[in-house]
Amino acid sequence: MNYAEYKLDIKNSDQIQTFLTTTKDCDCGSVLGKKYSDDSTEPDWKKEKKKLERKRFSKRRIELLLEQKLKEFKERNSDELKAEQKESKNWTEFLNDKRLKNKINEIGILFHQFSGELQNEEIKIESQKTISVDKIDTDFLKNIKENELNWIKI
pLDDT per residue as tens digits for the range 63-77 = 999 999 999 999 988
pLDDT at 48 over 90: yes
Residue 100, CA atoms < 13 Å, CB-side half-sphere: 14
**pLDDT of amino acid 26:** 61
DSSP 21-82: EESSS--TT-STTHHHH---PPP-HHHHHHHHHHTT--HHHHHHHHHHHHHHHHHHHHHHHH
**pLDDT of amino acid 1:** 41
Report, as an integer, the average pLDDT of 2-17.
55
- Picking from 147, 140, 31, 152, the residue whose alpha carbon sits closest to that of residue 94 is 152
Report, as an integer, the average pLDDT of 23-35.
72
